[in-house]
Amino acid sequence: MNEVTISFADEVAELESLPIYQEDKLTATLNHALAIMNDKIKGGLFLPYFIFEENFTGEDWIALPKSLDIYVCGTAEGRELNLDARGKDYATNILSYPSDIPSDVCVMMNNIPLGELVICHDVVVREADEQGKTVENHLTHLLVHGILHLLGFDHEIGQAEQDEMESFEIEILKGLGVGNPYQDDEY
């Protein structure tokens, strides 16, 4: 069974009661994203951060439960983390920190830790407002986006990679009842 654990910075602790941050909702998003990606793995998709080999196959990856940690912070901490991680001096909407645990250790643990997503709530709310989107839909999109980053997909290395990642996002979001975030009229 896949698991999401969420924690909050002290400055945003009051957000813990919001429906958008309930672990069951976040776990449902993770489960749906992984179900879509599992189908793609069965079709031969390679996950950049997970090396399938004789002792750790795509089938093994699919069978093992996954865990995801989410941390919600405010603007000041989001800015500091973005500066440390990416050298960019502003708070961003989401940061992803993939797990670097080797595949053979994951098999022994009987769990695949995907890594951690850091959400800057203030930025998510501001962007949703600026883009005329609901906070829930925007956050769902960012979670899917972050999960794909944790699997090794990267939209910043080339147009083909961006197109691939966006197509995965659109497909996953459709199944979650969220329109195409790249077309204003669907979101």
How does residue 166 score in pLDDT terms, banded at 50, 70 and 90? very high
Whole-prediction pTM: 0.93
Domain spans, the chain: 3-186
Asked if pLDDT for residue 186 goes beyond 60, the answer is: no
149 known member of a binding site: yes
Report the percent of the chain where pLDDT is more than 90. 74
What is the C-alpha separation between 185 and 65, in angstroms, rounded?
A: 36
Asked if pLDDT for residue 20 goes beyond 90, the answer is: yes
Asked if pLDDT for residue 4 goes beyond 90, the answer is: yes
Tens digits of residue pLDDT in 22-55: 999 999 999 999 999 999 999 988 887 777 777 7
What is the C-alpha separation between 150 and 113, in angstroms, rounded?
A: 10
Tens digits of residue pLDDT in 116-137: 999 999 999 999 999 999 999 9
145 known member of a binding site: yes
Tens digits of residue pLDDT in 58-71: 888 899 999 999 99
Among the CATH numbers 1.10.150.120, 3.40.50.2300, 3.30.230.70, 3.40.390.30, which is that of 3-186?
A: 3.40.390.30
Note the residue count of the chain: 187
- The residues near 114 (Cβ < 8 Å, ≥ 6 apart) are 66, 67, 68, 98, 99, 147, 150, 151
Asked if pLDDT for residue 77 goes beyond 90, the answer is: yes
Q: What is the pLDDT of residue 58?
A: 84
Q: What is the pLDDT of residue 159?
A: 82
Asked if pLDDT for residue 176 goes beyond 70, the answer is: yes
Asked if pLDDT for residue 10 goes beyond 70, the answer is: yes
Q: What is the pLDDT of residue 185?
A: 59
- For the chain, the average pLDDT equals 91
- Identify the residue whose tokens are 């939209």: 155
155 known member of a binding site: yes
Quick check: 5 and 68 in contact, CB under 8 A? yes
Q: What is the pLDDT of residue 184?
A: 63
